[in-house]
Chain A
């Protein structure tokens, strides 16, 4: 079989990041080719390079043997590359047909709506993608919306279909329907490039699998020959886990107890399903999982920012399921949110103002509703000192600080309140090594001090080295909770894909 698309030793750098650092890919005519890798492995950068959103810094992309350079997505579309984005590019208020033909509508001045509908109908029959051309997109389920996206690409006569994490938003049934469609497309001779971090589905649908890790493609294997174990090892690598020297501790009383918690997000999608666990004093419970499997929603729900749609959250033996976020803070729940710039800080405020953000109605920040500027400033100064936030100037705006110092500022604020529970979501995301170590030291110090810590992270190493126990989430559920001492990367990696290891080496957690 001849190659349709070749990516030859492509490099793409961003300031401080080697997003793609030697990528080779070869998609043959008439195959479904999967790119498998963890989050941050460089998959979406590669897709943006192929679809013309980025230009490679080195290397070459060849289409049917000829080198190509796309200046914009428009050129890539014209060359026959059809991209189905992870976040749909649809206009909910318009009809299916309108969305599909937009930019290349039938008709002269007049928009031939009926022709458009007929063309869409013909197209959807040809590719067996059933959808009503006259329905409004906002009325469609997510799975049907994805069909519209695929039809949009096919309408533009795409010769290569690229799907970026297409099953992320689908139910298992919808995903299975999607696989049928992909197989059908393949049968019609259209090659498909399929990006995913899910082992099982990649194995189910792909002919060949290219695995990416840390910006590089590490191997291309025929799907038929690849075992899940082998793929998981390729994905996560076999580096030695850096174990932080962590004195053993006997966990104390239960601080946080989550019982059968379910959470729906703002779009009313069920993101956390029936989750139960406990966190004890002096214990770090790590929550591992691929991004978007309900971890942040779980953290938000415990902090009170998302309502629970079912189940119960108890803190220090008291039910707090219905309490507003401010009251939970007052009772001793500290929260380091995932997005420090959008949620954790007010960038236009000074460090003093950011220090008082969550506790403004208490001393030393205010008395009877009146701000106490001098004590607040002195307090902030001590905070900056103790947590080594730089510059050590309480009048600077939070937006002036580096990412690491912003995070230290948030951690300082949250910890200084002497909480009983700290929820930290991706506390080291985007930080440099020195800053990461500092944050890790702080977390361990809190553990020493007998705090309960819920650590949500996408970094497996971080989870493995800091946690006492590790809960792995998949599709909003806790697949398993395992002791960190005996856990391996491979084991956690498999759990993250929803595969539960059959062997009994996984200790059955007592609190499930």
Chain B
């Protein structure tokens, strides 16, 4: 099913659910819209939330393009956060821009190694399915992060809360539009252009796409499929790690409790809805970020729980995956009509006889 149709259908079903439960769907969706785009603050939050979704979504889409399902972007994201934070408070006396750059690069490299090394090699040389390995690596990353900042952990900052030392302020990203929109947004835009350029304008991107589109033809074309498998998962992890690094430099400035952001999971949905096109990823990221920020407002204004947006997301993914529903429904409709025609014809025949 086309992403637009899937989204429309999901929104319709959401409205029906709200209506059945005694809410006014127009009020609810109206509040959602204003909550996401109603004023500069709302737009600032929506765009800020879209940045990590876009970056991680680009990562997931690169793997998809190579025929691989990176379901572990969440863990790669947190590995990126960890690396950025570590360099963020360990380095001293560096110029601010360079310090930022080091943190960002560290985050990307760490995420890339996390995604590419073990899942990539396991897939390429041991045949272990990347869906399971990336997922498992994801949980390992999350527990590793929790270990680092728990009391007694190597990055634990003194105090009651489980959190790390903060990144030095000179490395923070600059706020452009309060409260949340920072220069991180340029990372997202720039990365989207870069991914687009690499995928469609370089030989490496061409080979990655060839492996994804037809691995047998790729072999025939002389492409080393295992190497490109590792590369694809590595790039994918790199972008998810970048998402984590940029986000922590922009907003939280420290590794802390609150691992349920789920950017890495939503990133998969973003890539699916965008059909893996880099610029589509930007759009889809804004859409899902808007659902999330607008959902809060919807809950305040109309009392309709913001978790409805998760229901919508689930439905969208389901409809996008179940694209065969449309031809099936059409065939079913035709058959039913055919039966009706037959029944009518039989009825007439009966009368004649």
Contact = CB atoms under 8 A, between A and B. Distances in A.
Direct A–B contact present (CB less than 8 angstroms): yes
A342 B216 contact: yes
A325 B203 contact: no
Contacts of A357: 210, 217, 221
A373 B201 contact: yes
Interface in B156-208: 200-204, 206-207
Contacts of A343: 216-217, 220
Contacts of A365: 203
A74 B213 CA distance: 37
Nearest to A324: B222
A487 interface: no
B223 interface: yes
Contact of B202 (A327, A335, A369): A369
A326 B203 CA distance: 14
A432 interface: no
A356 B220 contact: no
Contacts of B342: none
A305 interface: yes
A325 B206 contact: no
B303 interface: no
A169 interface: no
A371 interface: yes
A325 B222 contact: yes
B2 interface: no
A460 interface: no
Given A357-B210, A360-B207, A305 B201 contact: no
A349 interface: yes
A370 B213 contact: no
Contacts of A369: 202-204
A344 B217 contact: yes
A220 interface: no
Contacts of A371: 200-203, 206
B336 to A, nearest CB: 24
Main secondary structure of the interface of B (DSSP, over half): helix
Interface in A339-360: 342-349, 353, 356-358, 360
B220 A360 contact: no
B202 A329 contact: no
B92 interface: no
A307 interface: no
Interface string B107-145: 000000000000000000000000000000000000000
Interface string A362-376: 000110011101000
B335 interface: no
Interface in B240-263: none
Q: Which of A342, A345, A346 has the most CB of B within 10 A?
A: A346
A436 B269 CA distance: 47
Given A356-B206, A360-B206, A373-B201, A347 B220 contact: no
Given A324-B222, A329-B222, A360 B203 contact: yes
Contact of B222 (A326, A344, A349, A373): A326
Interface residues on B, range: 10 to 19
Nearest to B217: A346
A358 B204 contact: no
B307 interface: no
B214 interface: yes
Contacts of A56: none
B219 interface: yes
A343 B214 CA distance: 8
Interface residues on A, range: 20 to 34
A361 interface: yes
B127 to A, nearest CB: 13
Contacts of B203: 360-361, 365-366, 369-371
Contacts of B217: 342-346, 357
Contacts of B210: 346, 349, 357
B223 A305 contact: no
B213 A349 contact: yes
Q: Which of B210, B217, B221 has the most CB of A within 10 A?
A: B217
Nearest to B207: A360
Contacts of A361: 203
A329 B223 CA distance: 12
A370 B201 contact: yes
Interface in A222-258: none
A131 to B, nearest CB: 30
Given A360-B206, A373-B201, A325 B219 contact: yes
A447 to B, nearest CB: 24
A344 B216 CA distance: 9
Contacts of B219: 305, 325
Nearest to B214: A346
Contacts of A353: 206
A394 interface: no
Contacts of B207: 360
A282 interface: no
16 contacts: A305-B220, A324-B224, A327-B222, A342-B214, A342-B216, A343-B220, A345-B214, A346-B217, A347-B213, A349-B209, A357-B210, A358-B220, A360-B206, A366-B202, A366-B203, A370-B203
Interface of A: 303-305, 324-327, 329, 335, 337, 342-349, 353, 356-358, 360-361, 365-366, 369-371, 373
Given A329-B222, A360-B207, 16 more contacts: A304-B222, A305-B219, A326-B221, A326-B223, A327-B222, A342-B214, A342-B216, A345-B217, A346-B213, A346-B217, A348-B213, A357-B210, A358-B221, A358-B222, A360-B203, A365-B203
Interface of B: 200-204, 206-207, 209-210, 213-214, 216-217, 219-224
> Nearest 5 pairs between A and B by C-beta?
A326-B222, A325-B222, A346-B214, A343-B220, A346-B213
